Amino acid sequence: MDEYLNIALPKGRLGDQSYALLKKAGLECPELEDPGRRLIFTSAENKVRYFWVKPSDVAIYVERGAADLGIVGKDILSESRPDVYELLDLGIGKCRMCVAAPKSFEDDFRGTLRVATKFTGCAKAWYGAKGRDIDIIHLNGSVEIAPILGLSDVIVDIVETGTTLRENGLVVVEEIFPISARLIANKAAYKFKEQRTRELAGRLSEVINE
């Protein structure tokens, strides 16, 4: 075992939870537990290097080979469809991709449906499969206020507890797919680090099922 495993972790709560699982699976990195302002951490003992990156960038680091492995939400994978292996559902960061609308809303299928979302790919795929004509309004945040202000008829967004929706007078109309964090791997790196990657995925699977 002379090769390092390079792992991209999403900054924030999901990254902390992910590292806790990786530590239990034998890839402890004491440097990372006292991070300061650094973003790259190495454990020579466990031959692992971690990077903290923006959650939406994890898949890019992995697909482009800057990281061998990464942990990323299914929402981001579904939206950007990177060419990577999706080796394990870690069962953390659970939420749902949903269509939500004001309580009074009912789709009468007359005219184009206005959909506000950060996840334009998911929205297009969902309504495309239904044959529903839509107008996508791409927003970068606070999507919930779009129907209130008359900007859109519905929104497509991530719903965790539903509190934000309720507080803004919205309800879930349809669930598109469940979301959780996934262990992903660069396809080329996997060929050369297959044994270590498979062992890690196996240990993580045991840790999750403990």
Partner 1 sequence: MDINDILTEMSGLEQLIFRLRALYGKAGYRQYQMSKFEEYDLYARNRDFLASEQIISFTDTDGKLMALKPDVTLSIIKNLKDMPDRLQRLYYDERVYRVSSGSGSFQELRQLGLECMGAVDDDALLEVLELACGTLAEIGGQAVLELSQIDILRGIFDAMGLSYAQWDMVLPLVQSKNLQGLKALLSQLAPDYSEASEFLQKLVSAPGDPEGVIRLLRSAGPGLVDPASIDQLEKLIAGLPEDYRKIIRIDFSLTGNSRYYNGIIFQGFILGIPSRVLAGGQYDRMMKRMGKASAACGFALYLNLLERMIDARDAGCEGKEA
Interface residues with partner 1 (CB under 8 A) are: 63-66, 83-89, 186-189, 191-192, 194-195, 198
CB of 65: closest distance to partner 1 in angstroms?
2
* Closer Cβ to partner 1, 30 or 128, answer by number: 128
- Count how many Cα atoms sit within 13 Å of the Cα of residue 173 in the half-sphere of its side chain: 17
- Asked if residue 196 lies in contact with residue 68, where contact means CB atoms within 8 angstroms, the answer is no
Which residue bears the tokens 């240990």? Answer: 203
Least gap, CB of 129 to partner 1 (angstroms) = 11
Helices (H), 38-154: 58-63, 74-80, 120-130, 145-148
Q: How far is the CB of 84 from partner 1 (least distance, A)?
A: 7
d(Cα 209, Cα 166) in Å, to the nearest integer?
A: 33
Sheet of 113-117: strands edge to edge?
134-138, 113-117, 154-159, 95-102, 170-179
Output the smallest distance, CB 99 to partner 1, in A: 21
Closer residue to partner 1, CB minimum distance, 30 or 65: 65
- How many other CB atoms are found less than 10 A from the CB of residue 78? 16
Instruction: Choose between 117 and 186: whose C-beta lies nearer to partner 1.
Output: 186
Please, which residue, 161 or 195, has the CB nearer to partner 1? 195
Nearer to partner 1, 62 or 139 (CB): 62
Strands 69-73 and 170-179: unpaired
Please report how close the Cβ of residue 170 comes to partner 1 at its closest, in angstroms. 29
